[in-house]
Amino acid sequence: MTDLKPARILAVETSCDETACAIIENGRALLSSVVASQMEIHARYGGVFPEVASRQHVLSITPVVEQALSQAHLTLKDIDALAVTQGPGLAGSLVVGMNMAKGLAVGSGLPLIGVNHLEGHLYSAWVHDAAEPAPAEPQFPLMALLVSGGHTELNLMTDHLTYRRLGSTLDDAAGEAFDKVARLLELGYPGGPSVQKAAEEGDPHRFKFPRAWLEGSWDFSFSGLKTSVLYEVRELKKKSTTLPVADLAASFQQAIIDVLFKKTMNAAREFNAREILVAGGVSANRPLRQTFRSQTDFPVHIPPLALCTDNAAMIASAGYHRYALGHVSDLNIDIQPTWPLS
């Protein structure tokens, strides 16, 4: 990145159940990234308990920010700007990060940049460990598939911060489908990793679950697939007390991957994309990563595993690109619990 001004950004992310802070240089080189996960606390509820999440953020946020600075051997004096997740997310969680970032901005006089969490997920593909050589930078026009717990979107990215949303899910997000099917198969929380693990031993072709192609549209739908797994489970339970969990998980996972992969490929060709980007929690899924890496000639950018699920490095990278292009927020910015990318 030669044409954007150099800067060090410290970012705070608290949109859901991870309290995170990271410092990044020039939008790509990661100096430190701290993520305090609340996963174990929420596992007992089978999902994120919003009130518990916000209280936990309050406890974690100060030590997490201090740790990010100390890991990078920096103080706030070495930072050029602050970034914070403004939304979308849980209101009670977002407000904790926002208040911390505003406090830091007032105390230090540094500019503050509000970042869309979904934009952050896309920018996770720009981030690399500062100690390693920089991998090739994603090239526009990019076909960007965003697959998280709350969103499934296909965006054509024609330049930095420039998105054309082609389609999104009409019902469940891909991650949400993983989480619901995990509950159905009694695989525990969080659903994505537990379905992936169960599927390792399974036959992905045993059950012919439906693929909602939604011809003529770039939208997605996963609720029919989830219902189909539910009906199959009910039928199987009538016949036997033991469920073929591995085959069910593998067949479900394959149906999701088929739809995500083929629709992204078709969109990339249709809109003359140069490269493909896959990001968000579901991009941590190993067979999905393998499919995108091995079954297309397009250059594909998928963030390293630690940056697929929620983190602050991605917010710092998106924040850098906003800062470098002159987008600084007013100190009165408020959280935006629902805030579509485009």
| Sites of contact with ligand KG4 (CB under 6 A) | 16, 148-150, 175-176, 178-179, 190-193, 196, 280-282, 284-285, 309-310
Residue 148 is a binding residue for Zn ion (CB under 5 A): yes
Minimum CB–partner distance for residue 88 and ligand KG4 (Å): 8
Q: What is the DSSP letter of 3?
A: S
Q: Binding segment for Zn ion among 45-53, 157-165, 271-279, 307-315 (CB under 5 A)?
A: 307-315
Centroid of chain to Cα 268: 20
Minimum CB–partner distance for residue 332 and ligand KG4 (Å): 26
Minimum CB–partner distance for residue 192 and ligand KG4 (Å): 2
Q: Which partner from the list ligand KG4, Zn ion, none does 88 bind, CB cut-off 5 to 8 Å by kind?
A: none
Minimum CB–partner distance for residue 77 and ligand KG4 (Å): 32
Q: Nearest 5 degrees, angle CA 313-CA 88-CA 165?
A: 90
Tell me whether residue 54 or residue 148 sits nearer to Zn ion (CB atom): 148
Place of tokens 């970042």: 115
Closest CA to 182 of 112, 36, 88, 282: 282
What does 244-284 look like in DSSP terms, one character per residue? -HHHHHHHHHHHHHHHHHHHHHHHHHHTT-SEEEEESGGGG
Helix (H, G, I), strand (E, B) or coil at 27: coil
Centroid of chain to Cα 117: 8
Q: Percent helix, strand and coil across the chain, each rounded to 5?
A: 45, 20, 35
Structure tokens at 42: 């929420």
Tell me whether residue 119 or residue 310 sits nearer to ligand KG4 (CB atom): 310
Tell me whether residue 281 or residue 319 sits nearer to ligand KG4 (CB atom): 281
Q: Which partner from the list Zn ion, ligand KG4, none does 285 bind, CB cut-off 5 to 8 Å by kind?
A: ligand KG4
Q: Which partner from the list ligand KG4, Zn ion, none does 153 bind, CB cut-off 5 to 8 Å by kind?
A: none
In what helix (H) or strand (E) does residue 118 lie, and over which residues does it extend?
Answer: helix 117-123
Tell me whether residue 14 or residue 148 sits nearer to Zn ion (CB atom): 148
Minimum CB–partner distance for residue 108 and ligand KG4 (Å): 28
Given the rule CB under 5 A, which residues bind Zn ion?
148, 310
